[in-house]
Copies of this chain bind each other. A is one copy, B any other.
């Protein structure tokens, strides 16, 4: 295993350097987030205990609170990070040249994001119907869905599709539904044929 030279020959009785600490913090924080996400995703937020997360991540319970103020704060951190990822990926869809291309990109990108963040989406879907948990997440998460739907409607409007609002509602529901069914049973779901069908239907020039 590779050991960074600067950390190797250090004076034994000197406090860790600021950078070393920063790295430790980043790693531990990431580890906690990772395991918390996996467990939240699998068992649901309420059914996941801090003890489970700590054990899974291989740290003490107490340590969690040096990184996150509370269980809810940990959840918020997970959402903040994943939402940033998603937003970044979504932005790529706007790069398409033609309206149709943008729609196609959006659809494809959505499912790529899904594939790469399966656990996050599971968590997100699990939490979506629980008002109490959503409140702990803050208003930004609630507004997020609306944001996506608006982007979608704009794209469809650009593509001169009839009834763009209704179509956006349908397409968004479709993506969401497929995502959930996939996430519920990734190995049993025919994701790729489904994607192609959807692309074919929404992004191919002849009217639907």
Contact = CB atoms under 8 A, between A and B. Distances in A.
Interface of A: 4, 6, 15, 18, 41-44, 46-47, 122-123, 125-126, 128-133, 145, 163, 165-167, 169-170, 172-178, 180-181, 183-184, 189-190, 193-194, 197-198, 201, 208
B173 A169 contact: no
Contacts of A183: 129
Contact of A42 (B122, B125, B126, B131): B131
Contacts of A189: 169
Given A44-B133, A177-B175, A170 B194 contact: yes
B174 A173 contact: yes
Nearest to A208: B201
As for how many copies of this chain the complex holds, the number is 4
Contact of A130 (B47, B169, B208): B47
Given A44-B133, A129-B44, A173 B178 contact: yes
Contacts of A123: 129
B184 A129 contact: yes
A197 B167 contact: yes
A165 B197 CA distance: 12
Most chain B CB atoms below 10 A, which of A4, A173, A194, A198: A173
A8 B183 CA distance: 53
A163 B183 CA distance: 22
7 contacts: A6-B15, A129-B184, A166-B197, A170-B197, A173-B174, A173-B178, A176-B180
A198 B175 CA distance: 15
Contacts of A43: 130-132
Contact of A173 (B47, B132, B163, B177): B177
Contacts of A133: 44, 47
Q: Which 9 A-B pairs have the closest CB atoms?
A: A177-B177, A173-B177, A126-B129, A44-B130, A46-B46, A176-B177, A173-B178, A47-B132, A166-B193
